[in-house]
Amino acid sequence: MISSRPVSYAVTATLPNETMVGEYVAWLTGGHIQQVISGGAIRAEVVRITDPTSPLRVQARYVFPDRTALDRYVTQFAPALRAEGVAKWGDRVTFVREVGDIVGG
């Protein structure tokens, strides 16, 4: 059975330097996040990870109304958006994606 709970989808980018952190955040807030929302997310936020012992990271956090909406985004919208990111950032940025059911809040 597919969960009807809201679903969290997080993309964490590891960046090589502070200049690219600024460029990446500007890219996210300059349109990319809105494209994900247009693809089915109901809200989003950008978080700069500030752990001083870890590399430079920025996390884009999205909430989808349910797993069906996330699956639709992943199959219909994400491939083009991911290709855009690869074209822009190449191998200078690494991405980790995580999905989870929201169980409280």
**Domains of the chain, first to last:** 8-101 (3.30.70.100)
3-state secondary structure 58-99: EEEEEEECCHHHHHHHHHHCHHHHHHHHHHHHHHHCEEEEEE
Give 101's strand partners: 7
Residue type, 97: R
Predicted confidence pLDDT, tens digits, the chain (105 residues): 556 899 999 999 999 999 999 999 999 999 999 999 999 999 999 999 998 888 999 999 999 999 999 999 999 999 999 999 999 999 999 999 999 999 998
State pTM to two decimals.
Answer: 0.92
